[in-house]
Structure 1
Amino acid sequence: MSNDKYKARLEEQLSELESRLERIERDLDEPHDPDSSERAVQMEDDESLEAQARLVTREITSTKRALDRIEKGEYGYCVECGEEISDGRLEARPESALCINCAKKG
Protein backbone atom coordinates (compact mmCIF):
# COMPACT_ATOMS: atom_id res chain seq x y z
CA MET A 1 0.00 0.00 0.00
CA SER A 2 1.39 3.42 -0.89
CA ASN A 3 1.99 6.15 1.66
CA ASP A 4 -0.91 8.10 0.10
CA LYS A 5 -3.29 5.26 0.92
CA TYR A 6 -1.87 4.96 4.44
CA LYS A 7 -2.22 8.71 4.83
CA ALA A 8 -5.87 8.56 3.78
CA ARG A 9 -6.51 5.69 6.21
CA LEU A 10 -4.76 7.52 9.03
CA GLU A 11 -6.68 10.74 8.35
CA GLU A 12 -9.95 8.80 8.40
CA GLN A 13 -8.88 7.02 11.58
CA LEU A 14 -7.97 10.35 13.19
CA SER A 15 -11.35 11.84 12.31
CA GLU A 16 -13.17 8.83 13.80
CA LEU A 17 -11.05 8.92 16.97
CA GLU A 18 -11.61 12.66 17.45
CA SER A 19 -15.37 12.16 17.01
CA ARG A 20 -15.32 9.33 19.53
CA LEU A 21 -13.42 11.48 22.03
CA GLU A 22 -15.92 14.32 21.57
CA ARG A 23 -18.81 11.93 22.32
CA ILE A 24 -17.05 10.62 25.42
CA GLU A 25 -16.36 14.16 26.64
CA ARG A 26 -20.02 15.12 26.08
CA ASP A 27 -21.11 12.09 28.09
CA LEU A 28 -18.70 13.02 30.88
CA ASP A 29 -20.08 16.58 30.94
CA GLU A 30 -23.63 15.36 31.58
CA PRO A 31 -24.81 16.25 35.09
CA HIS A 32 -25.34 13.39 37.52
CA ASP A 33 -28.78 12.33 38.67
CA PRO A 34 -29.72 13.71 42.13
CA ASP A 35 -30.79 10.19 43.21
CA SER A 36 -27.82 8.81 45.18
CA SER A 37 -28.04 5.23 43.87
CA GLU A 38 -28.30 6.40 40.26
CA ARG A 39 -25.48 8.86 40.83
CA ALA A 40 -23.23 6.02 42.07
CA VAL A 41 -23.85 4.10 38.84
CA GLN A 42 -23.18 7.21 36.79
CA MET A 43 -19.91 7.80 38.64
CA GLU A 44 -18.81 4.24 37.84
CA ASP A 45 -19.75 4.86 34.22
CA ASP A 46 -17.65 8.04 34.30
CA GLU A 47 -14.61 6.04 35.43
CA SER A 48 -15.05 3.74 32.45
CA LEU A 49 -15.52 6.71 30.11
CA GLU A 50 -12.41 8.40 31.50
CA ALA A 51 -10.39 5.23 30.83
CA GLN A 52 -11.80 5.13 27.30
CA ALA A 53 -10.90 8.80 26.83
CA ARG A 54 -7.29 8.12 27.87
CA LEU A 55 -7.07 5.22 25.42
CA VAL A 56 -8.58 7.21 22.57
CA THR A 57 -6.26 10.13 23.34
CA ARG A 58 -3.24 7.80 23.08
CA GLU A 59 -4.56 6.47 19.76
CA ILE A 60 -5.01 10.04 18.49
CA THR A 61 -1.42 10.84 19.47
CA SER A 62 -0.10 7.72 17.69
CA THR A 63 -2.11 8.52 14.58
CA LYS A 64 -0.90 12.13 14.49
CA ARG A 65 2.69 10.95 14.90
CA ALA A 66 2.25 8.53 11.99
CA LEU A 67 0.89 11.35 9.82
CA ASP A 68 3.88 13.46 10.85
CA ARG A 69 6.25 10.65 9.85
CA ILE A 70 4.55 10.52 6.43
CA GLU A 71 5.10 14.28 6.00
CA LYS A 72 8.77 13.91 6.97
CA GLY A 73 9.30 10.91 4.68
CA GLU A 74 10.03 8.64 7.65
CA TYR A 75 6.84 6.58 7.56
CA GLY A 76 7.17 2.82 7.30
CA TYR A 77 10.50 2.67 9.12
CA CYS A 78 10.92 1.60 12.72
CA VAL A 79 11.66 4.54 15.03
CA GLU A 80 13.86 2.25 17.17
CA CYS A 81 16.05 0.29 14.75
CA GLY A 82 15.37 2.02 11.43
CA GLU A 83 14.33 -1.20 9.68
CA GLU A 84 11.37 -1.18 7.33
CA ILE A 85 8.03 -2.06 8.97
CA SER A 86 6.29 -4.89 7.11
CA ASP A 87 3.31 -4.03 4.90
CA GLY A 88 1.23 -6.56 6.82
CA ARG A 89 1.89 -4.75 10.11
CA LEU A 90 1.14 -1.36 8.56
CA GLU A 91 -2.05 -2.66 6.99
CA ALA A 92 -3.19 -4.00 10.37
CA ARG A 93 -1.99 -0.99 12.37
CA PRO A 94 -1.13 1.93 10.08
CA GLU A 95 -0.07 4.03 13.07
CA SER A 96 2.70 1.53 13.95
CA ALA A 97 6.01 3.18 14.77
CA LEU A 98 7.88 -0.03 15.55
CA CYS A 99 8.74 -3.08 13.49
CA ILE A 100 7.45 -6.34 14.91
CA ASN A 101 10.84 -7.25 16.44
CA CYS A 102 11.16 -3.97 18.35
CA ALA A 103 7.49 -4.14 19.37
CA LYS A 104 8.09 -7.59 20.86
CA LYS A 105 11.07 -6.30 22.85
CA GLY A 106 9.12 -3.42 24.36
Structure 2
Amino acid sequence: MDVTTARERLEFMLAELDRSIGVLRGDPVAVRDRSTADAGSDLTDADRAQAMLTVATTQRHAVIEAIKRIEEGVYGRCVDCREPVPAGRLEARPEAARCVQCQGKRERRR
Protein backbone atom coordinates (compact mmCIF):
# COMPACT_ATOMS: atom_id res chain seq x y z
CA MET A 1 0.00 0.00 0.00
CA ASP A 2 1.37 3.41 -0.87
CA VAL A 3 1.99 5.94 1.90
CA THR A 4 -0.73 8.35 0.72
CA THR A 5 -3.39 5.65 0.83
CA ALA A 6 -2.11 4.45 4.21
CA ARG A 7 -2.28 7.98 5.65
CA GLU A 8 -5.84 8.46 4.34
CA ARG A 9 -6.98 5.15 5.83
CA LEU A 10 -5.25 5.84 9.15
CA GLU A 11 -6.74 9.34 9.42
CA PHE A 12 -10.20 7.92 8.66
CA MET A 13 -9.67 5.22 11.30
CA LEU A 14 -8.57 7.87 13.80
CA ALA A 15 -11.69 9.97 13.18
CA GLU A 16 -13.92 6.89 13.59
CA LEU A 17 -12.15 5.86 16.79
CA ASP A 18 -12.48 9.38 18.19
CA ARG A 19 -16.24 9.29 17.49
CA SER A 20 -16.58 5.85 19.09
CA ILE A 21 -14.58 6.87 22.16
CA GLY A 22 -16.75 9.97 22.51
CA VAL A 23 -19.91 7.86 22.46
CA LEU A 24 -18.47 5.36 24.94
CA ARG A 25 -17.47 8.19 27.30
CA GLY A 26 -20.90 9.80 27.03
CA ASP A 27 -22.74 11.35 29.93
CA PRO A 28 -23.97 8.90 32.55
CA VAL A 29 -27.59 7.91 32.27
CA ALA A 30 -29.84 9.56 34.85
CA VAL A 31 -30.59 7.37 37.83
CA ARG A 32 -34.17 6.08 37.84
CA ASP A 33 -36.22 3.54 39.75
CA ARG A 34 -35.03 0.12 38.69
CA SER A 35 -35.13 -3.42 39.98
CA THR A 36 -32.03 -5.25 41.24
CA ALA A 37 -31.96 -7.30 38.03
CA ASP A 38 -31.90 -4.10 35.98
CA ALA A 39 -29.02 -2.79 38.10
CA GLY A 40 -27.07 -5.99 37.35
CA SER A 41 -27.78 -5.51 33.67
CA ASP A 42 -26.51 -1.93 33.88
CA LEU A 43 -23.29 -3.16 35.48
CA THR A 44 -22.80 -5.68 32.69
CA ASP A 45 -23.43 -2.95 30.10
CA ALA A 46 -20.97 -0.66 31.88
CA ASP A 47 -18.34 -3.41 31.94
CA ARG A 48 -18.88 -4.05 28.23
CA ALA A 49 -18.64 -0.33 27.44
CA GLN A 50 -15.43 -0.05 29.48
CA ALA A 51 -13.91 -3.00 27.64
CA MET A 52 -14.85 -1.45 24.28
CA LEU A 53 -13.40 1.88 25.40
CA THR A 54 -10.12 0.19 26.36
CA VAL A 55 -9.87 -1.55 22.98
CA ALA A 56 -10.73 1.64 21.06
CA THR A 57 -8.20 3.68 23.05
CA THR A 58 -5.47 1.09 22.43
CA GLN A 59 -6.22 1.00 18.72
CA ARG A 60 -6.28 4.82 18.59
CA HIS A 61 -2.78 4.86 20.06
CA ALA A 62 -1.60 2.36 17.41
CA VAL A 63 -3.08 4.52 14.63
CA ILE A 64 -1.38 7.65 15.95
CA GLU A 65 1.94 5.78 16.12
CA ALA A 66 1.48 4.60 12.52
CA ILE A 67 0.87 8.19 11.37
CA LYS A 68 4.08 9.19 13.17
CA ARG A 69 5.96 6.42 11.34
CA ILE A 70 4.69 7.83 8.03
CA GLU A 71 5.93 11.28 9.01
CA GLU A 72 9.32 9.83 10.01
CA GLY A 73 9.60 7.91 6.73
CA VAL A 74 9.71 4.46 8.36
CA TYR A 75 6.12 3.34 7.76
CA GLY A 76 5.97 -0.23 6.48
CA ARG A 77 9.10 -1.33 8.34
CA CYS A 78 8.88 -3.54 11.41
CA VAL A 79 9.69 -1.54 14.55
CA ASP A 80 11.60 -4.53 15.95
CA CYS A 81 13.60 -6.09 13.11
CA ARG A 82 13.34 -3.23 10.54
CA GLU A 83 12.34 -5.69 7.80
CA PRO A 84 9.41 -4.72 5.54
CA VAL A 85 5.96 -5.48 6.91
CA PRO A 86 4.14 -7.56 4.25
CA ALA A 87 1.83 -5.50 2.05
CA GLY A 88 -1.10 -7.81 2.82
CA ARG A 89 -0.67 -7.20 6.53
CA LEU A 90 -0.63 -3.43 6.01
CA GLU A 91 -3.67 -3.70 3.77
CA ALA A 92 -5.57 -5.55 6.50
CA ARG A 93 -4.11 -3.59 9.43
CA PRO A 94 -2.68 -0.25 8.25
CA GLU A 95 -1.64 0.51 11.83
CA ALA A 96 0.51 -2.65 12.06
CA ALA A 97 3.92 -1.85 13.54
CA ARG A 98 5.49 -5.29 13.28
CA CYS A 99 5.98 -8.04 10.75
CA VAL A 100 4.04 -11.24 11.41
CA GLN A 101 7.05 -13.01 12.94
CA CYS A 102 7.90 -10.21 15.40
CA GLN A 103 4.23 -9.73 16.30
CA GLY A 104 3.99 -13.46 17.05
CA LYS A 105 7.04 -13.27 19.31
CA ARG A 106 5.56 -10.27 21.12
CA GLU A 107 2.26 -12.03 21.71
CA ARG A 108 3.95 -15.19 23.01
CA ARG A 109 5.87 -13.12 25.58
CA ARG A 110 2.61 -11.81 27.01
TM-score, structure 1 as length reference:
0.92
Residues 23-75 of structure 1 show CA distances to partners (whole Å, capped at 9, x for unaligned) of 1111x622343314222211211011001100000000000000010011110
Check if 1:17 corresponds to 2:52. no
Cα offset, 1:100, TM superposition: 0.8
CA RMSD of aligned residues (A): 1.2
Other structure's SS at 1:75 match: coil
Segments of structure 2 that go 5 or more residues without pairing to the other structure are none
Which residue of 1 is the match for residue 2 of structure 2?
2
Residues 67-104 of structure 1 show CA distances to partners (whole Å, capped at 9, x for unaligned) of 01001111000000000101100000000000011011
* Inter-partner Cα distance in structure 2 for 1:31 and 1:50: 18
Instruction: Give the percent of matched residue pairs that are identical in Structure 1 and Structure 2.
Output: 32
- Stretches (4+) displaced over 4 A: none
* Inter-partner Cα distance in structure 1 for 2:31 and 2:51: 18
* Inter-partner Cα distance in structure 1 for 2:52 and 2:31: 19
Q: How many residues align?
A: 105
Cα offset, 1:105, TM superposition: 1.2
TM-score, structure 2 as length reference:
0.89
